[in-house]
A and B are shown apart, each in its own frame.
Chain A
């Protein structure tokens, strides 16, 4: 019997976590990784990648943020650090989780293309068990092409160091042929994942960002595997069927505002936001965040080169101007006519660019922006009334601007 994408996602996730919880019995190690990191090397070396961020998202979505974050403050940490980190450190202390938790790590891979906060967070975790941390340093993907070439060289050197590090930790030789195989799966699934995201260009859009966020999980933690490829193929087929039948998130006649979202979601308001916006005829289609895993690996290149090129150039490691270019492309491609810019207290790496990005995007597109401040996981920084009022006012503005 063919499984649906939802069933496949559950099966893949269950098997993955089961494998992870029994890793040591099978002679495997657990490597904690940042979500944007060259995890293909882990997969090729048979290390099971675990993403504390994903676990944090589960807890924050289930509204455990305030409780966990309060605990971490009593441990001496300040309340404006990343809510993923805060809730994770509190989970380590209390065991509070809405899942079965995550297995303890054997080693860490911190890639700072995403942010530097993860490096510091991982250092805190590593100290507890005196465990090894590898920092994969990706200098900002500045605009000068010669400098970019030099950056890639530096990153390739580091990937070689990472391989030596893995060999030393596991006492096993790295298999480059296996890496090529893993890269093939990663390349295929990345293309399919992007195809899935790009289906938001249809009118009405068959997916919203909330579907994209749910559909993103497998790209984050199972890329480099055949099952990841199969999952996205099934997902694309399902969405294509919706497109063929004209099924949208909102019916065609109600889809009035096709919105861009800047930043990570407010996880604990995930479904509330979808309903609220939907009541005004708004659908959030996409963000740079969900596109972060739309890799374009070139299999004709040395795997380490194409890995370096892709990981260093993620939106979170790009200049604000490049970010604006990426977002502008999405506005054109998806025919968007509104934007919500979330200033996320928890994610400085993304949020510090938001005011400048908003200026550039409104200037380029002529579309006004809704800006609001909150926290992606800590409910104590969410002001229900204020944000609702802003959303209402924003849609009134958009209505007035309608031709």
Chain B
């Protein structure tokens, strides 16, 4: 189903992947295990023969979530909750839910209580990452999740199953990296929206199939007229709704680097392929940027952004803030100051899941980039 997609089809599927997932599981007879952002090793779920699906909100109306979470809760958290309570809950056989912040901790509890007949397991990611105990804990948690999935499914997995899953996931990330590299140098080959649709769909559908499409798409990318583009980097957790990328594309902003979970954070997750697979997955946790800014301090964020800015020679940084994400909000004032002091132009976009109108974003983006010297926009 996902093995022969054109780039236009990828964009369509990424917008709403659930009908295709429904059809696929009906054909394959597989189980679906959902997760939300933050470091759950999806290779483990895949190794059991289940389809791991990262849940990334819905643009359908909020009906039930507001009675569970107040209006100042993280908009992604509310959107994810709505998706499972109102729209797609029946699709999932179970969930492995990461806990990295106060919000995700409560979401896990609420989902468990609301889905008493489904498998619901928590993934207790360490919320400190600088000491040896964090490494100990990641390994413990991966082993516990394997044991828990085994208890639920009655299946046992061996090292080869994990290595096979790792191979498929690594291939997926490698292909995305290669496509990203093409897009950086040749912005006319692929729009921003198309690139990030590939990143999103990769986290929601069967990667063994999608990798086939990625190979074909990569090979079909053509050089175009690359003049008139301005290179920028995108900093944040996620960027939603995807129509924001249309605005970038409209004004010919070329995203040449990012720190998004539906972006570089994901493709950084290539697992080492030596030693034993659980050690390798543990090692990966500490090699890539963490999925939650809860771990980060501003200095780390700043150094990362600065390095990316220099490496890509971008013209500006665009920071995407998801409404009511506390972790971002405690860091943002200092991060802004540091970036400004470095002489880097930075523009902040406030976005919210369920956003319907982007006119304010368009106006602000246009104004910001018209103010960039050179006036290429």
> Are A319's CB and B70's CB within 8 A?
no
30 interchain pairs, CB-CB under 8 A: A75-B333, A76-B332, A112-B127, A116-B102, A120-B294, A120-B326, A120-B330, A127-B298, A137-B128, A139-B126, A140-B108, A140-B122, A140-B124, A142-B124, A147-B144, A150-B140, A154-B133, A154-B136, A154-B140, A161-B132, A320-B110, A320-B113, A321-B113, A343-B70, A348-B73, A352-B102, A353-B106, A353-B109, A356-B109, A356-B110
Within 8 A of B (CB), among A122-166: 123-124, 127, 135-137, 139-140, 142, 147, 150-151, 154, 157-158, 161
> Are B297's CB and A127's CB within 8 A?
yes
A136, A137, A345: most-surrounded residue (chain B CB, <10 A): A137
Q: Whole-angstrom distance between the alpha carbons of A124 and B70 in the complex?
A: 26
Q: Whole-angstrom distance between the alpha carbons of A75 and B336 in the complex?
A: 11
Across-interface contacts of A115 in B (CB, < 8 A) = 102
Nearest CB in chain A: distance from B112 CB, A: 8
Q: Whole-angstrom distance between the alpha carbons of A112 and B327 in the complex?
A: 13
- Complex interface bits, B122-141 against A, C-beta within 8 A gives 1, otherwise 0: 10101110011110110010
The verdict on A71 contacting chain B, using a C-beta distance below 8 Å, is no
The 10 A-B pairs at the shortest CB distance, nearest first, are namely A76-B333, A120-B330, A139-B124, A352-B106, A157-B133, A135-B128, A349-B102, A320-B109, A80-B72, A137-B128
Nearest CB in chain B: distance from A241 CB, A: 42
Nearest CB in chain B: distance from A148 CB, A: 11
Q: Whole-angstrom distance between the alpha carbons of A389 and B34 in the complex?
A: 43
> Are B102's CB and A348's CB within 8 A?
yes
Residues of B within 8 A of A (CB): 67-70, 72-73, 99, 101-103, 105-106, 108-110, 112-113, 122, 124, 126-128, 131-134, 136-137, 140, 144, 294, 297-299, 324, 326-327, 329-334, 336
- Complex interface bits, A212-226 against B, C-beta within 8 A gives 1, otherwise 0: 000000000000000
Q: Whole-angstrom distance between the alpha carbons of A135 and B129 in the complex?
A: 9
Instruction: Write the chain B residue with the least CB distance to A351.
Output: B70
Nearest CB in chain A: distance from B339 CB, A: 13
Q: A80-B324, A140-B105 are in contact. Are A124 and B124 (CB under 8 A)?
A: no
- What interface size band does chain A fall in? 35 or more
Q: A116-B127, A320-B113, A352-B73 are in contact. Are A121 and B330 (CB under 8 A)?
A: yes
Residues of A within 8 A of B (CB): 75-78, 80-81, 85, 112, 115-117, 119-121, 123-124, 127, 135-137, 139-140, 142, 147, 150-151, 154, 157-158, 161, 319-321, 343, 345, 348-349, 351-353, 355-356, 360, 373
Across-interface contacts of A360 in B (CB, < 8 A) = 113
Contact of A123 among B67, B297, B329, B333 (CB under 8 A): B297
Nearest CB in chain B: distance from A307 CB, A: 15
Across-interface contacts of B144 in A (CB, < 8 A) = 147, 150
Nearest CB in chain B: distance from A86 CB, A: 11
> Are A154's CB and B324's CB within 8 A?
no
Across-interface contacts of A117 in B (CB, < 8 A) = 102, 326, 330
Not counting A77-B329, A154-B140, a sample of 6 additional A-B residue pairs whose C-beta atoms are within 8 angstroms of each other reads A77-B330, A80-B72, A119-B294, A127-B297, A142-B122, A161-B133
> Are A319's CB and B330's CB within 8 A?
no
Q: Whole-angstrom distance between the alpha carbons of A128 and B101 in the complex?
A: 24
Q: A140-B99, A348-B102 are in contact. Are A81 and B334 (CB under 8 A)?
A: no
Q: Whole-angstrom distance between the alpha carbons of A330 and B71 in the complex?
A: 30
Q: Whole-angstrom distance between the alpha carbons of A291 and B134 in the complex?
A: 30
Q: Whole-angstrom distance between the alpha carbons of A353 and B68 in the complex?
A: 8
Q: Whole-angstrom distance between the alpha carbons of A258 and B184 in the complex?
A: 66
Q: Whole-angstrom distance between the alpha carbons of A88 and B115 in the complex?
A: 40
Nearest CB in chain A: distance from B229 CB, A: 31
Across-interface contacts of B329 in A (CB, < 8 A) = 77-78, 81
Instruction: Write the chain A residue with the least CB distance to B293.
Output: A120
Nearest CB in chain B: distance from A44 CB, A: 20
Across-interface contacts of A320 in B (CB, < 8 A) = 106, 109-110, 113
Across-interface contacts of A161 in B (CB, < 8 A) = 131-133
Nearest CB in chain A: distance from B292 CB, A: 10
Q: Whole-angstrom distance between the alpha carbons of A208 and B205 in the complex?
A: 56
Q: Whole-angstrom distance between the alpha carbons of A111 and B340 in the complex?
A: 32
Q: Whole-angstrom distance between the alpha carbons of A351 and B70 in the complex?
A: 8
Across-interface contacts of A343 in B (CB, < 8 A) = 70
Contact of A120 among B103, B108, B331 (CB under 8 A): B331
